[in-house]
Amino acid sequence: MAAACADSAAAHRLAGWYRGGEEGLPQSSELAFRWALRAAERGHVEAQYNTGLCYNTGEGVAADYEAAAMWFGRAAEQGERSAQFNLGFAVELGKGTPLNCELAAKWFQRAADQGATTAKVHLGNLYRAGHGVEQDHAHANALYREAIEVDNTIIALFN
């Protein structure tokens, strides 16, 4: 198990170096994706999230929203905050996964519990509209206030 963990960490590190063209390696989105995928397949949570991002954006690999949602899900289940938000967003929109506002609220809540301000805004939007949760304007406003208190630039989402 230790060897697999070391191997996944090394593969993740290589992915970062290829992504940025660091440590004497050429910049290559394709090689960055390959190494991230290798680490992700071995359970490296950050690599799982990054693999989801690559599939979501088409960076280094053809865009595949179903694969993106699957990798976000693997990382989200391990507690990766950004993956939880991205999975919530995918589920909220039905992007690569069936649309399910109740499930989106669950993932936004998990990310929000870890301090993700954008997740608080999206969760607030669900409460305001009553999508996937019982409509509750007071709770929506409380979530918006919490997000703004942490990051007042988030107010741009309301304009």
Instruction: For residues 73 and 11, state if they share a domain.
Output: yes
* Position 152 confidence tier, pLDDT thresholds 50, 70, 90: confident
**Which position has the higher pLDDT, 143 or 2?**
143
The model's pLDDT over 97-139, given as tens digits with 9 standing for 90+, comes to 999 999 999 999 999 999 999 999 999 999 999 999 999 999 9
Instruction: For residues 57 and 111, state if they share a domain.
Output: no
Domain count, the chain: 2
Q: Mean pLDDT score of the chain, rounded to an integer?
A: 90
Instruction: For residues 65 and 13, state if they share a domain.
Output: yes
pTM for this model (two decimals): 0.88
Q: Are 129 and 101 in contact (CB under 8 A)?
A: no
Instruction: For residues 17 and 66, state if they share a domain.
Output: yes
Tokens of residue 86, six digits: 């991205």
Which of 78, 97, 112 is the endpoint of a domain?
78
Domain that holds residue 34: 1-78
**CATH number for 18:** 1.25.40.10
